[in-house]
Structure 1
Amino acid sequence: MSHEKRFKGIPMSKSMRGLCKEEDYEFLGMSGKMTKEPTEGAEALEDYRRHDKEERIRWRQEREQKEKERLQEIEESKKEKEQQWRTHVENLTSSQEKTLQDRLARLRRFREFQRKVLVEESGMEGVSATVTANQLLTRM
């Protein structure tokens, strides 16, 4: 029953207190004995704390390194997508220019054909026939 008085200050719910027994608190009594023997316990505790701190520092550094790598991968991905977009736009533009050049060439050949047909049908020869054919084609 002395354990109830001794550990009354430990924050715990009522239901939890009901479940706990004296054996559950034995480890607390042992920790009190460890404080009386400072040489062994203190060194072990100090080693544990130092090791724990080193572990936390190492984990934090690993997290930071992973975050840097992730951000670098995202940046590289953005650059790659941007480059792909530029290539796509360049290809699209060049194909449109080629299409327009082909259309212009076909249109010029057709106009030459029309001019030739008009000159032949009019029966006139020379520069005057060409001027007349150009005027007719311009009206169309």
Structure 2
Amino acid sequence: MSEKTSEGAGSLEDDWRDKREERVRWRLEREQQEKKRLQEMEESKKEKEQQWRTHIAELTSSQEKTLQDRLARLRRFREFQRKVLVEESGMEDGEASLTVNQLLTRM
């Protein structure tokens, strides 16, 4: 009987050891999956931040260009106004310049 008992005990010990090793493997797999998930989340976050930075840079550049274009149109229009006022005043450029500048400033 002692042989059967020792065989049974050995078999139980082997089963216990196998189950323990299996639990350790499962735990390691879960840890690896969690690390991978966290790494993917971090990469996704970095990618979204980069996309946001790119979007903001493009938006800022577009707004800057729009403002520069607007400024150029306003300057051309102001020059046109100045030219028309000088022509309508009938004065020479030198004497009309002060009066025209005062009129344009009031506008």
TM band (smaller chain): over 0.9
Shift of 1:36: 7.7
* CA RMSD, Structure 1 to Structure 2 (Å): 1.6
CA distance in 2, matches of 1:56, 1:42: 21
Amino acid paired to 1:87: T
* Mapped partners of 1:91, 1:122: distance in 2: 46
Whole-Å separation in 1 of the counterparts to 2:72 and 2:46: 39
Query: Which residues in structure 2 correspond to 1:1-20 (within 5 Å)?
Result: none
SS in 2 for 1:37: helix
Query: How far off its partner does 1:133 sit?
Result: 0.9
Consecutive unaligned residues of structure 1, counting only runs of 5 or more, are 1-32
3-state DSSP of counterpart to 1:135? helix
Deviations 1:48-88 (A, max 9, x none): 11111100000000000000000111111111111111111
Count of equivalent residues: 107
Higher normalized contact order (CA 8 Å, seq sep 6+, divided by chain length): 2
Which TM-score applies when normalising by structure 1?
A: 0.72
Instruction: Give the letter aligned to residue 99 of structure 2.
Output: T
Give the Cα separation in 2 of the matches to 1:46 and 1:78: 48
TM-score, with normalisation over the residues of structure 2?
A: 0.93
DSSP-derived class of the 2:15 partner = helix
Matches within 5 A, 1:93-108: 93-108=60-75
The correspondence of residues 109-124 of structure 1 with structure 2, limited to 5 A, is 109-124=76-91
More helix by share: 2
Structure 2, gaps ≥5 residues long? none
Find the structure with the greater CA-based Rg: 1
Counterpart in the other structure of 2:30: 63
- C-alpha separation between the residues in 2 aligned to 1:126 and 1:36? 125
Offset of residue 37 of structure 1: 2.2
Give identity over the alignment, percent. 75
The separation in 2 between residues aligned to 1:49 and 1:94, in whole angstroms, is: 67
